[in-house]
Structure 1
Amino acid sequence: MPYQWNTTSSTEPLQVLQLWPHQSLPPKAHKWFILGTAVLIALPLLPFLGTVVLWGLLPFLTLAVLGMWYALDRNRHDQRILEILELGPQEARLERHNPHGAVQDWSCNRYWTTVEMHEQGGPVPYYITLRGNGREVEIGAFLSEDERKALYHELSHRIRS
């Protein structure tokens, strides 16, 4: 699962949840995919070597490979999201690091913090929010539906314990 619980063993126990989007294509595989795509596109061009047709097709096929590279690179950049939820004895604090460097922060007294799951009506099914201190913030919207369901039960249990 693309989230992990850590517990510190200091004088004040702190439970830390880190969430991140699933990365199905690691950076090394990204390079191999682009290379494989370029080779597979180049294979049908072999019969056209030395002809004018090659020069007519080459710009479009190059544009296709560059478009694939840009789309995969942009997707990898947009998936650089990290959410950190810290549950201390008195306070719950959520920090979200967005892809472009912006950081969003929310904190609330743990006693007043509530976890809610919106089965419908949110941007995704089984949308999870934390409510407290006059605000409602989302958590884990990038997770899969099953992961959000599991996270909801874990969060509900850990906030109350």
Structure 2
Amino acid sequence: MPYAWSAPSPDSSELQLWPHNSLPPAGFAGIVLGFFLMATIPLYWLIGTVVLWGLLPFVMAAVAALYWGLQRNFRDRRIIEILTLSPDRVRLTRHNPRGASQDWESNTYWVQVACHEAGGPVPYYVTLKGHGREVEIGAFLSEDERKALYSELQDRLRSCAGA
């Protein structure tokens, strides 16, 4: 699962969430190289002709577009959410891909976890409500991961608020 619990101190716990990345750097290089090789196969028979120089810029533009698109996808998926639970405070910090951070904080006793099966941007949308605001958590996770996260958050908050 693309999230992990840790215990920075005996009375608190921390949850880190990140989007799943199914293409490792080696796969990225393989995709771009494979696309380049497959796109140039028809050009081998044109070596030494003027037509090669007419088609080569389009092949290179397609390779560059694939490279740019994959790099943009990697940059857009650099999201990290950190939820810190302690007996008196709950704090959620979201680090967005372009550097901006968003913070939310509330008293642990008043925090409510909600799972909206429908009506949200994604099915089984998980939110935290407290201190007059409702914030999303883990919207980039898969449906099954959001269901598991919801039950884990309920259990952790219940044990933290009761402590």
Give the TM bin, normalised by the shorter chain: over 0.9
Given candidates 77, 80, 83, the residue that maps to 1:79 is 77
In 1, Cα distance between equivalents of 2:9 and 2:107: 21
- Residue in structure 2 matching 1:92, options 87, 90, 93: 90
Report % sequence identity.
Answer: 59
In the other structure, the counterpart of 1:147 is 145
User: What amino acid is the match of 2:2?
Assistant: P
TM-score, normalising length from structure 2? 0.94
Opposite residue 14 of structure 2, the aligned amino acid is: V
2:7 is matched with which residue?
Answer: 7
Output the amino acid matched with 1:135: R
| Deviations, residues 31-81 of structure 1 (Å, cap 9, x unaligned) | 222112111111221111111221221111111100000100000000000
State how far apart, in whole Å, the 2-side matches of 1:100 and 1:26 are.
21
Q: Tell me, which stretches of 5 or more residues in structure 1 are unaligned?
A: none
SS at 1:33 equivalent = helix
User: Which 5+ residue runs of structure 2 have no aligned equivalent?
Assistant: none
Secondary structure of 1:99's aligned partner? coil
Letter of the structure 1 residue corresponding to residue 112 of structure 2 = T
Task: Tell me, in whole angstroms, the C-alpha distance in 1 between the residues paired with 2:5 and 2:84.
Answer: 10
- What residue is the counterpart of 1:19 in the other structure? 17
Q: Which letter maps to 1:67?
A: A
The answer on 1:109 being equivalent to 2:95 is no
Deviation at 1:14, TM superposition (A): 1.1
For 2:139, what is the secondary structure of its paired residue?
coil
The farther-off stretch of 38-47 and 116-125 is 38-47
Secondary structure at the aligned position of 2:21 is classed as coil
Using the TM superposition, give the Cα deviation of residue 8 of structure 1 relative to its aligned residue in structure 2, in angstroms. Answer: 2.8
Shift of 1:29: 2.3
The answer to whether residue 30 in structure 2 is matched with residue 32 in structure 1 is yes
Moved over 2 A (4+): none
Between the two proteins, the alignment pairs up a number of residues equal to 159
CA displacement at 1:27 relative to structure 2: 2.3
Could you tell me which of 36, 47, 50 is aligned with 2:48?
50
Give the CA deviation at 1:9: 3.8
Task: Summarize deviations over 1:93-134 as a string: whole Å, max 9, x none.
Answer: 000000011010000000000000111111111111000000
